[in-house]
Amino acid sequence: MPSGLRDGQLSLIDPSGRWVVGEAWDAAGSQHLLLWDSGVVRDLGDAEYGFADINPNGEAIVASYDGSASVGWRYHDGQLTRLPPLQSGDDVVLYGMNDNGVVVGLSTGQEGYRQAGFHQTPVVWSADNNPTALQMPPGDNSGWVADIDDAGTVVGAVGYDPRDLSEPTWEPVEWRADGSMRVLPGPEDGQEHAIWPRAITQTGTIGQEMPPQQYGKVWRWGSAAAAPTYVTDGRVDAISTTGSIAYSTLASDGAGADYWLLHDGVRHPLPYQHDEPITPLMIVGVSDSNVVYGWYRSVPMRWSCP
């Protein structure tokens, strides 16, 4: 931590583990954004924005607010380039960036969910910052995205026309790099499941059954055409590109949570010395070498797992 700063928190890492992003506060109470490069920290100054993702090249996507709308930026070598919305005045919310600099997020109207003209459109921004809307089924005005891989495949969900006052229905989907979309099938158990894709990995797409605060089931789609297979029960905190999953379960004593890394079918505990009253451990990322990053009570932490 840089001198003069306290109460450090980590927010995200890149898949290689080289880049780590966090925050800390100075004596005056101002928040500073911190960027670690191979363990060497740089203070980026008073934080007027926050990082949403960072790739192994050190290129990142950044969120801010300009007083009238949420704004998305590309960060590279200390320079910020604004990513344009689909429509003027839209909110832009960014979720992921691949190693090629292609960004995925949402361009959302400000009319309100039940108002005519509202849209929440999944968008891909090219490496030269041009936005392209992703396909949605006719009648669906709402979409959501979770991740993009280096081949340009995007996972997320599509939903309902928000002017329809009936109960909303969401379907998990995959968009290919050519823009085509397919619905991801549900489990073959005859039951209804609300599974939200979380990340694309080398072993398939990982999904979390909702609601996650109740430690729902975790699933994996090996391909977009096949039914998902059950992985474990728990609340997913972070996923590596190799398919390792950091997650939490209800503690054996019923108070608080236990934390784990699931790698190649083996569950590794993530121990920490917690205080009373119980404060949750925050897991923010897993590197491809199975190093887990997080923080507890403003202390940055990491665990190296086999």
Of 183, 211, 242, the one marking the end of a domain is 183
Per-residue confidence (pLDDT) for residue 111, from 0 to 100 = 60
Q: Which of 33-42, 119-128, 159-168, 199-208 has the lowest mean pLDDT?
A: 159-168
Instruction: Specify if 271 maps to a domain.
Output: no
The pLDDT-based confidence of 222 (bands split at 50, 70, 90) is very high
Distance CA 27, CA 24 (A): 10
Instruction: Specify if 276 maps to a domain.
Output: no
Instruction: Specify if 63 maps to a domain.
Output: yes
Distance CA 306, CA 50 (A): 32
Q: Is the model's pLDDT at 123 over the cut of 80?
A: yes
Based on the fold, state whether residues 34 and 67 are members of the same structural domain.
no
Instruction: Specify if 155 maps to a domain.
Output: yes
Instruction: Specify if 144 maps to a domain.
Output: yes
| Host domain of residue 22 | 1-46
Per-residue confidence (pLDDT) for residue 278, from 0 to 100 = 67
For 86-102, how does the pLDDT look when each residue is reduced to its tens digit (9 = 90+)? 988 899 999 999 999 99
Alpha helices by DSSP H, 52-118: none
Backbone angles phi, psi at 186, to 5 degrees: -90, 175
Average pLDDT, the chain: 87
Contacts for 185 with CB less than 8 Å, ≥ 6 apart: 221, 225, 226, 227, 228
Q: Greatest CA separation found in the chain?
A: 58
Q: Report the C-alpha dihedral over residues 31, 212, 17, 157, rounded to 10 degrees.
A: -100
> What is the CATH number for 82?
2.130.10.150
Distance CA 238, CA 254 (A): 23
Based on the fold, state whether residues 59 and 178 are members of the same structural domain.
yes
- Could you give the number of structural domains in the chain? 2
pTM (global) more than 0.85: yes
99-129 per-residue burial string, b: 16 or more CB within 10 A, e: under 16: ebbbbbbbbbbeeeeeeeebbbbbbbbeeee
